[in-house]
């Protein structure tokens, strides 16, 4: 069965201590068992025309959609979300069953 992905792409507000936000996010995912894996990155290569001002991507993986739904209503997530929303200038979120079209050999 397809795993479920929660993708968050953001531009942080100027002056935000991004490292602190990242620490909070790592704490969050460590506290919630439903989050199977978590990876993130800061763009270093895209053209500004394509990046559209966004700088960071966060990608969480869940075994199934129901685990993601449970995560969104977890008290730790609700608490963190308030902090996170205050730190961001722009956001795009996509939640989707992942289709693996090419796997590592």
Decide if residue 74 touches a second copy (CB under 8 A).
Answer: no
Question: Whole-angstrom Cα distance, residue 72 to residue 89?
Answer: 21
Q: Using the minimum distance from each CB to a second copy, give the nearer residue, 16 or 55.
A: 55
Q: Left if phi > 0, otherwise alpha if psi is -120 to 50, otherwise beta: which for 60?
A: beta
Decide if residue 70 touches a second copy (CB under 8 A).
Answer: no
Contact predicate 9/96, CB 8 Å: no
Tokens representing 32 are 């919630």
Decide if residue 36 touches a second copy (CB under 8 A).
Answer: yes
Query: Footprint of a second copy on this chain (CB under 8 A)?
Result: 5, 7, 9, 25-26, 29-30, 35-47, 50-52, 54-57, 59, 61, 65, 68, 91-105
């Amino acid at each position: 069965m397809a795993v479920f992905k929660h993708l968050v792409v953001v531009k942080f507000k100027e002056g935000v201590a991004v490292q602190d936000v990242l620490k909070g996010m790592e704490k969050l995912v460590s506290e919630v068992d439903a989050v199977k894996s978590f990876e993130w990155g800061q763009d270093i290569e895209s053209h500004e025309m394509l990046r559209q001002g966004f700088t960071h991507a966060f990608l969480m993986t869940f075994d199934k959609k129901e685990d993601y739904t449970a995560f969104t209503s977890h008290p730790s997530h609700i608490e963190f979300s308030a902090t996170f929303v205050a730190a961001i200038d722009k956001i795009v979120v996509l939640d989707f069953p992942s289709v693996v079209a090419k796997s590592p050999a």
